């Protein structure tokens, strides 16, 4: 696909569609607008007992926007991925423009998990996540959901619903309902603050709302 720029990508997200490629080696990109859309209701994130223990243990450190490129690379580091070089470069450009953000999870000085996505208005469009140690991606999501709620976001788009996301509280809604939620979110003003809370604050706030 020629002529795909960061501005075109932002316009596509505003219309409810997102890009994918068949594989990292496929130069072609296609647009996706699923009939059933995955979202995270921001007041329903589920912290299980095991995830709570992981958060309390404190062996995983969380940061925001410290290594965006590393998170994208971690998400693409699998046998099958839709992140080809064009998509990779576009999201890095969006990050440099302030539109794309990442939550990183570290064990000592090693990046072991994370999640990244795009912010427009009051909507966060989750793109991909990865985990190299137990619960790392769940920790990233817990901090992301907590931050989005504190920063005034109303929509967390996960694109598709997976069993992993469903176990944490994500749900699937019809396309028309998603587009209605998207329109409302785009009219809102929210900003990804990047303030990293304590693990106990994340647990407490999610326990109160789940």
CATH assignment at residue 203: 3.40.630.70
Helix (H) or strand (E) holding 41: none
- Based on the number of CB atoms within 10 Å of its own CB, is 204 exposed (0-12), middle (13-18) or buried (19 or more)? middle
Q: Is residue 32 in some structural domain?
A: no
Would residue 135 be called left, alpha or beta, if left means φ above 0 and alpha means ψ between -120 and 50 degrees? left
Q: In this structure, what token pair is assigned to residue 195?
A: 């303030």
Q: Find the mean pLDDT for residues 176-194.
A: 95
Q: Tell me the average pLDDT across 181-189.
A: 97
Helices (H), 6-116: 6-14, 49-57, 68-76, 85-96
Asked if the model's pLDDT at residue 3 lies above 90, the reply is no
Residue 104 located in a structural domain: yes
3-state DSSP assignment of residue 80: coil
In a domain, 165, yes or no: yes
**Residue 55 maps to a domain:** yes
Whole-number Å distance between alpha carbons of 53 and 4: 44
Q: How many domains does the chain have?
A: 1
Report if residue 92 sits inside a domain: no
| Residue 119 placed within a domain | yes
Q: What is the pTM of this model?
A: 0.94
Query: Is residue 185 domain-resident?
Result: yes
Q: Is residue 157 part of a domain?
A: yes
Domain that holds residue 67: 37-79+99-209
Residue 1's pLDDT band (boundaries 50, 70, 90)?
Answer: very low
């Amino acid at each position: 696909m020629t002529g795909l720029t960061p501005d075109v990508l932002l316009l596509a997200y505003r219309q409810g569609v997102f890009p994918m490629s068949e594989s990292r080696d496929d130069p072609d990109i296609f647009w996706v607008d699923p009939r059933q859309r995955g979202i995270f209701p921001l007041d329903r994130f589920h912290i299980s007992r095991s995830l709570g223990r992981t958060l309390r243990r404190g062996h995983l450190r969380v940061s925001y926007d410290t290594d965006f490129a590393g998170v994208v690379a971690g998400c693409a580091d699998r046998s099958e991925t839709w992140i080809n070089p064009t998509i990779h470069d576009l999201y890095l450009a969006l990050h440099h423009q302030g539109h794309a953000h990442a939550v990183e999870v570290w064990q000592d000085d090693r990046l072991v998990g994370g999640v990244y996505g795009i912010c427009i208005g009051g909507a966060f469009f989750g793109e991909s996540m990865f985990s190299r140690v137990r619960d790392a991606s769940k920790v990233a999501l817990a901090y992301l959901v907590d931050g989005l709620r504190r920063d005034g976001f109303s929509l967390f788009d996960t694109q598709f619903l997976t069993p992993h996301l469903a176990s944490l509280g994500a749900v699937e809604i019809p396309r028309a309902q998603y587009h209605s939620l998207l329109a409302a979110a785009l009219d809102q003003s929210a900003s990804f603050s990047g303030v990293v809370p304590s693990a106990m604050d994340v647990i407490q706030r999610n326990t109160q709302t789940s």
